[in-house]
Structure formats: structure tokens, C-alpha cells
Structure 1
Amino acid sequence: MEAKKESHVKQYTSYALGAFGHDAFYATLSTYLMLFITSELFNGAAKGVKAHMILIITTMMMIIRLVEIVFDPIIGGIIDNTQTKYGKFKPWLMVGATISAIFLVLIFTDFGGLTNSNPMLYVIVFGICYVIMDIFYSFKDIAFWSMLPALSVDEKVRNNFGTTGRLGSTIGAQAVPIIIFPVIVFFSHMFSGTSGQTKTQAGWIGFAVIIALFSFGGALATTLGTKENTSLIRQNTKRTGVIGIFKALGKNDQLMWLAASYFLFALGYVVTNSLLAYYFTYVLGQSNKFTFAGWIMAILGVISVSLFPVIVEKVHRKAIYVGGIGIMIIGYILFLFAGHSLLGVLVSVAVFFFPYPMIFLAALMTITDSVEYGQWKNGTRNESVTLSVRPLIDKLAGAVANGIVGLAAVHCGMTGNASPSSISAGQLSLFKSFMFYGPMILIIVAAILYYTKVKLTEAKHKQIVKELEAKLESQKAAKDKKTATDAQ
């Protein structure tokens, strides 16, 4: 019993380390790549050319991600159909981590000065590198999170894996706003000979290398430290073709309703979170204070995730998801009154962010439980295909958010070396619509959808698991009996 407990602790830790590196990578890709493109990449170009190139790059990124997400369920199917002595997840986790890390660093360069010497060639090379990075990031993303139902079918152990995983991912994601500007400034001093708070492209590349190492190291820790669970339920699988993959998703009504709700929620959150750095830089004029927001989100994230197992036992997932969104709405309202007050903004950040990790966990555990729901309803178990929906939604939300952030930056005058004094009242009002009003509407609709349409509760999942085990044991007994009869 003691050995089993120690094994679980080792696996929880390994999974948390993987989540740390994975979400540091995701935060960099979904939030801070846009900041690099809009504030640093085209600084040598004329103002009109800069705005034009920013819109081309952001539009291209959005289109690439929208097209690529169609393939996420297929990537899930490839992983589900993989059979190696290392399991089906770990090979793709390491391959994806290695290649995506290399190409993350590349897209934080100007490819030898192409942004100024040949901007259109830069766009082509960037597009190719971005596609390669995104595809292999998808393999890593889906392989990592779809391990969750394979690690255990026990609701308590599964919640523990989800909670420790989310703890690691929360720290990883919030480590980025804590370190980003200090790291960029450090490498700018080291490689460009700058002083003060000046940020250079060399500084951004140094930052990208650090994140790439976090991502690869975390994937390695998960690969070496976790073990797939073998059970009768998990053996109820078969190879699934492309058409079967999309049929399996379409027939899982609870997964689809959750997906619709979570997409609206994720889009609203990512837009606001992505524009937070712009708020500190172009509204407050205190980009060096953005680190404080990172520390607040990191500390509250740890507290929020740690509270999840206790709260979910008392009030269950539906109350956490809907109630958490209610708290975020209060955060939005506080933001609207914060104005140029640093203290007011930091308080707003705290209230807005605190429930986010618990809402994410409520959604993740519902998606994870829908693996058994789909198996119970359709007769086939699809782990990676089902869990691919969550990364798919995050990337879809990230793609749309990137487009929105690019538009906001250009139309609100928040590019390059702009300052708070150069932002007009009209531009500030438009910025608030992008950062606050639109996202508020999205997450309110998300709460309504989850509350009215998602019926897959913890009690319902427990009942489904019992029915599946009874059914599969009965089928196994009948098969064994027939085999014995035939042998006679």
C-alpha cells in the first residue's frame, strides 16, 4: 500500500513538471508571441509598413491555426492507434516536445534580417516554421492531456492527477509574466549591450530559448515518471478511421455541449489575458510592473488549484464552473473602475484570475469523464480523440484571440514605441471594448450553456463506470466460457 502511494506521488510530480513546461510554452505562444510581433519585430520599418506587416502576420497565424485545428481529432486518432513498448502517448510527447521547442525559438527571430530586407520572404519563412511548430505542438499537447484518463479510471486518483497537472500548468503559465520582461532585459543587456529597461530582439530570443528548455524538460520528466494504467475498460478499444473519429465526437453530445461552452469561455479569457500586457505597457505606462501581476496570478493560481479537490467534493463541478465565471464578472467590473491606478488594476487581476484554474479543471474533468460516457453510449473507447477536443478548443480560441489582439493593437495605436500619452480617449475606449466588454458577454453565455446543457455530473460518471465494468466483465466471462467449450 505504501509503495503504491509513493508511486502515485512520483507520477503526480512527473505529470505536474510536464504541465509546467507545457503551459509555459502555451502562454508564450498564445499571449507573448503577439506582443513580440507588435512591439519589437518590425521596429526598423516605416509606421505604415509596420502596421501592414503586423496585420498580415496576425491574419496568417489565425488562418493557420483555424485550418490546423481540423486535424487535431485526426492527430488524436493517430495517437490512439499507436502501439509501442513505451505506450501510445510518450513517443509523440517527446517527438512533439523536441521539434516544437526548436521551431518556437526560430519564430522569435527575424530570420537574418528578412523583416527589413525582404518582408514578404520573411512572411513565407515564418509561415512554414509556424506550421511545423504548431503541428508538433499539437501532437505534444494532445498526447500530454489525453494521458489523463489512461493514468486511472478511479475518480479520486483522476482528480488528483488533474489537480497536480493543473497546479504545474498554472505555475508554468504564470511564471511567464513573472520572468518575461526581466529575462528579456537581461539578455538584451548581455547580447545587445543595452542598459535600463530597453528590450531588443536578442533579448526576446534568449527568452524563447528558456521557454523551449522548460517545455522539453517537462516532457522528459513526464515520459520517465508516469505509467499507463491497464484495466478492462481501457482494453475496450479498436483502431478508428478518420470518419470514425469524427463520428465518435459527434455522437458524444455531452462533449459537444461542453466544447461549445468552454470555447466561449476560453476565447473571452484569452483575449483579456493577452491584452493585459498591453494595458500595463500602453495604458499604465509601467511595463516593469507587469511582473507583479504575474506573481499575483501565480500565487492565487496555486491556492485556487489546491482548493479544487476540497471544493469539488462539497459543491461539485457545475457550481465551480458557473460560480467561478460569476467571480470573473466581478473582476471585469473592478477593471472598468481601476483606470490608471496600479493598485486598482492589480486587485482586478486578482479577482478576475482567482477562479480561472478551478473553472479549467472543472471543464477538463468533465471532458475526461466524457471518455467513459462516449464508450458507454457508442461502445468504443477513444481517449486521445476525446481529449483532443480541449487542445482543439484552446487553439481555436487562441487563433481567434490572436486576430482580435492584432486588430486591437493596430486600431488602438498600441504598437512599437507608442506611449500612454499617444493613446487618444477614443482609442482607449475602443481598447476597453476589446479587453472587457466583448469577453464579458462571451463568458456569461458560456456559463448559461454549461448550466443548462451539461448533464455529465460526478454521480453520473460513477454510475457509467459501474455499468461499463459489469457489462465488460459479463462479456469477458461469456467469451472465456465459449473458449473453454470450444477447447473441449
Structure 2
Amino acid sequence: MKHSNLRNSIFYLIGLLGHDFFYFAFTLYIIKFITSALFTGADGHYTDTMVATISGAIVTIRVVELVLDPFLGALIDNTKSRFGRYKPWIMLGGVVCSSSFVLLFTTLGGTNLTHPVLYLCMFLVLFLIMDGSYSLYDIAMWSMIPAISTTYEERNRIGTVARLGAGIGQALLTIFVMPSIILGKNLFGSEQAGWLFFAIIVLVCTCLTALLTCIGVKEHESAIDTPNEKTKFTEVFSVIFKNDQLAWLALPNWCYYFSLALVSTLMTYYFQYVYGNAASYSTIFGTATLVVVVSILFYPWLTRRFSRKQVLFVALSVMIVSLAFFTFAGNNTVMVVIASVLFLLPQPIIFTSFLLELTDTIDYGQWKSGKRNASITLAVRPLLDKFAGALSNGVVGLVALVCGMTGAASIADITSGNIVVFKTIMCGLPIALLLLSMFVYQKKFKLNTAFHAQIMKDLEQRAAEDRQDSAEGVEDKQPQKTMVEQAI
């Protein structure tokens, strides 16, 4: 591996470590803090009302804000700076979103109990700032993949590196979340203070890793890139809708993201109210998270021997089996451990497969339209992720209320009927969605490895012709049809 590629790999891994450390803290634990510690001391009716209101507001904000992400992608695509196209947004987005995240883990001056309307207004403003700045951070971070890799092999390698860093970040967060909350509680005297201590750790990790990424990663000059062609904001959605492979890939992606967010967020409730030992979440599920670091290392080996679709479908099937195990595990430790390992094992492989397929649609879109819109295309991923996360947070808040899993509720307060409802949502719904994801992908997504390789040859041919025309001073020359275009 060249020195520059090795340097990029190391610093990009560090960047994704901090990115996913923040992402899972943001996705999984804000709603947990709200339902468990935020309203300590309030009566049950007030707590339930505020939890329901905040959960509904979060869903509303994230759904309404979906339309913003493609425009943020266009903003990044159109950026020119001496630091590159992506680094300014990685740094700015990382600092702002993690700072807002910390404030969301406070009582905002005690207004959560004394002035509920004021608290809700401040909470929603902070959440909006955090969500928007995270989108900039997220889109810019993942847009670096096509900026530092072009071939199938390079993208598999850098995708593996990225997901390895993300897996390490997820594992570290899962292992240390509960110990850090307990440490903060012991140091500062309350569970609320414990959660704030945890949020500050997330802030430090996010800002430090974003800075190291900006210092260490060097973007490559691409022969097929079109940096001088700015995308008008009025063209943003046409870029997405005219890319049919991107559109068809969106539904399987969303089904997966929603299933992952829903199960992951409900997992702490599972260990507390179904398995019956909340502390074991870090010892069992947290330790099992280490398998994501191991499994992603096999991704390049797997994709050299099997197609991405074959690897993806096997990984999705393993995830379905894990949910079946969770359904019947109850308080059986062996089954819970097996279910946890099987659930976590395929996650980096599924994510990387979908991400690299999405990255390939950038080249497909350029091949069809003549303009390269990397960040707009990759903005679809956080758009889907955000929509899935918003709905999952809303569903989790509703499940917590319906099943009596709020406030100081204990396992003794949970009925067998509550458990059935909980398992139906946590396991049954995701299984159905994952099967739908596989069906749509099989029927509609046609951008395989051979097709993508030919597209890259065509793009390079066009770029060479354009450079030759520019050198010869030829204007208004109509490009000849490429081999793929002639075939179609």
C-alpha cells in the first residue's frame, strides 16, 4: 500500500471512529435519557406527557428536516476552499453537533420541571441545530470515500477501513456508556449528572477525531471529477430522481436503517425489562459489539470470492436469525449472548455493502447526466438514516409508554402482555422489513460490479476526449456514444 493511501486509511479510520461514537450516542441514548432520567422527581402523568410530546416533536423535526439534507449535499459539492471540499464541514459540523448534544443532556436550567413550554422550545431549537450540523458532518465524512478511491478494489478497501473505524467507535461507546454514566453519577451525585458526564465524553471524542481527520486525510485528484460544475439548488431533487438506481436502492437501505435503529434503541429496554438485568447491557451486548471490529476485516476477502449481493443477502439473513433468537431468549443468558453476537456480526458488512453500492450510483448518475454530484447522492444515506432514526425514536417512545417502561418502572411492573407487544415491535417488525429489503434489491437494483466497471471506463473515455478537445480548442463537439450507451 502506498504511503499516502496508508496515511489516508489511518486518519479516515480515526475520523469514522469518532463519527460513529457520536452517531450511536445521538441515535440510541437521547431518548433513553429522556425516558429515564430527565424528569426525575416529577409525577408519572407529567413524565408520560412530556415524553410523548418530546418523542413526537423529534419525529416531526427529523421528518420535516429531511428535505434539507440534499441541499446540504449541494452546498458541500459546491464548496471550494484551500482545505478541500469536505474538511471544513467535517470540522464545523462535528463541533456544533457535539456541543448541542451536550446541552440536550442538561435540564436547561431546571425548566424541564418548572417551565415545560420554555423547555420544549429550547430543546427543539437545540435538537434542530444538532441534527442539521450532524448532517453536514455526516455527508462530508462519507463523501470522502469517492474522493480517496475510484476502483472496485480501492473502494472495498477504504470502505472496510471506514467501517472498521465506525465499528470500533460503536464498540467503545457500547462498552463505556453505562460505566461512564455510573462514574459521573458517583462523582457528581445524580443520574442526570451521570448522563451529562457521558455527553461531555462524546463531545471531546467527536471534536478530537474530526480534527485529526482534517489534518491527516489528503483528497486525490480524480480524472472523472467535475469540480467546476456547480449544482443549482433548484436542480437538487432532479439529481436524485433521475438516478433510477439510486432511487431503487433507497428503499432497501431505509428498511435496514429503520430495523437497525429500532432494535438498537430498544436493546437497553430489552436488557432491563425482558432479560431482567440492565447492567448486563454493557457486559453482554457491549462486549459482543467487538465482533463488528472482527467481521469487517473479512469484507475484502468475501467480496473477492462472492458478489456484493451474495455477501449482503447472507448478512441480512444472519440478522433475521438473531432477531428470532431474541424473540425466544427471555432471561436465558446463553441465548441472549448468541442473539447479541448474531445481531452485531453482520452489521458492518451490511452497512458497507449498501454504502459502496450507494457510492457507485454517483458514477452511474454522472454517466447518465454528465454531472458528478457526490455529496448530493450520498446525502440520500443520512436522509434515509435520519428518517429511520426519527420514526424509531417515535416508536420507541410509544412502546415505552404502552409497555409501562418509563420513569422508575421495574421488571415487576411489566406484564406478559407488555412483553408480547414489546417483542412484536422489536423483533417481528424488523424481520418483515428486512425481507422486504432483500426482495426490492433483488428485483430492481441492477448496478453490479461488471456494469460499474464499464461505466468507469466510459467516464474516463469522456474525460480524455474533453481534455483533448480543450487542448485543441474544439468547441461544441458532440461526444460519441460509449460502448454501454450504444448497447442500451
Q: Which TM-score applies when normalising by structure 1?
A: 0.95
Per-residue deviation at 1:450? 1.1
Q: Is the 1:322–1:451 Cα contact (8 Å) retained in structure 2?
A: no
2:34 is the counterpart of 1:43: no
Alignment of 1:262-411 (within 5 A): 262-411=253-402
Letter of the 2:35 partner, please give it.
T
Per-residue deviation at 1:155? 2.2
Q: List per-residue Cα deviations over 1:274-333 (Å, max 9, x = no partner).
A: 101101112222111111234444321011110111001111211122221111111111
Residue 460 of structure 2 aligns to a residue in which SS? Answer: helix
Letter of the 2:300 partner, please give it.
P
Aligned to 1:169: 166
Alignment of 1:129-144 (within 5 A): 129-144=126-141
State the distance in 1 between where 2:316 and 2:226 align.
38
Structure 1 gaps, min length 5? 193-198
2:112 is the counterpart of 1:115: yes
Aligned to 2:481: none
Q: Is the 2:276–2:331 Cα contact (8 Å) retained in structure 1?
A: no
Q: List per-residue Cα deviations over 1:32-83 (Å, max 9, x = no partner).
A: 1111100111121110111110000011011111111211000000011111
Letter of the 1:13 partner, please give it.
I
Q: Structure 2 residue aligned with 1:18, among 12, 15, 19? A: 15
Residue 109 of structure 1 aligns to a residue in which SS? Answer: coil
2:27 is the counterpart of 1:30: yes
Residue 64 of structure 2 aligns to a residue in which SS? Answer: helix
Q: List per-residue Cα deviations over 1:392-418 (Å, max 9, x = no partner).
A: 111111001000000011110111111
Q: Is the 1:175–1:294 Cα contact (8 Å) retained in structure 2?
A: no
Letter of the 1:114 partner, please give it.
T
Q: Is the 1:80–1:239 Cα contact (8 Å) retained in structure 2?
A: yes
State the distance in 1 between where 2:107 and 2:334 align.
37
Q: List per-residue Cα deviations over 1:373-392 (Å, max 9, x = no partner).
A: 10001111001101111111
Letter of the 2:81 partner, please give it.
T
Residue 15 of structure 1 aligns to a residue in which SS? Answer: helix
Aligned to 1:195: none
2:222 is the counterpart of 1:208: no
RMSD: 1.3
Alignment length, in residue pairs?
475
Aligned to 2:67: 70
Q: Is the 2:147–2:222 Cα contact (8 Å) retained in structure 1?
A: no
Aligned to 1:441: 432
Per-residue deviation at 1:237? 5.1
Q: Is the 1:151–1:229 Cα contact (8 Å) retained in structure 2?
A: yes
Residue 290 of structure 2 aligns to a residue in which SS? Answer: helix
Per-residue deviation at 1:265? 1.2
State the distance in 1 between where 2:114 and 2:321 align.
48
Per-residue deviation at 1:273? 1.1
Residue 37 of structure 2 aligns to a residue in which SS? Answer: helix
Aligned to 1:250: 241
Q: Is the 1:237–1:382 Cα contact (8 Å) retained in structure 2?
A: no
Higher mean C-alpha displacement, 170-179 vs 354-363: 170-179
Per-residue deviation at 1:268? 1.2
Per-residue deviation at 1:231? 2.1
2:466 is the counterpart of 1:475: yes
Per-residue deviation at 1:257? 0.9
Aligned to 1:79: 76
Q: Is the 2:226–2:371 Cα contact (8 Å) retained in structure 1?
A: no
Alignment of 1:157-236 (within 5 A): 157-192=154-189, 200-235=191-226
Q: Is the 1:372–1:381 Cα contact (8 Å) retained in structure 2?
A: yes
Per-residue deviation at 1:236? 6.1
Aligned to 1:196: none
Residue 42 of structure 2 aligns to a residue in which SS? Answer: coil
Q: Is the 2:175–2:287 Cα contact (8 Å) retained in structure 1?
A: no
Matched-pair identity in %: 37
Cα 1:236–1:212 change in 2 (3 A) is closer
State the distance in 1 between where 2:182 and 2:459 align.
56
State the distance in 2 between where 1:270 and 1:220 align.
27
Give structure 1 regions of 4+ aligned residues with deviation exceeding 3 angstroms: 293-297
Q: Is the 1:174–1:294 Cα contact (8 Å) retained in structure 2?
A: no
Per-residue deviation at 1:483? 6.2
State the distance in 1 between where 2:222 and 2:166 align.
28
Q: List per-residue Cα deviations over 1:224-246 (Å, max 9, x = no partner).
A: 11111112201365111122111
Aligned to 1:425: 416
Residue 473 of structure 2 aligns to a residue in which SS? Answer: helix
Q: Is the 2:73–2:379 Cα contact (8 Å) retained in structure 1?
A: yes
Residue 231 of structure 1 aligns to a residue in which SS? Answer: coil
Aligned to 2:483: none
Letter of the 2:208 partner, please give it.
G
State the distance in 1 between where 2:59 and 2:243 align.
28
Letter of the 1:175 partner, please give it.
L
Cα 1:237–1:389 change in 2 (3 A) is farther
Aligned to 2:86: 89
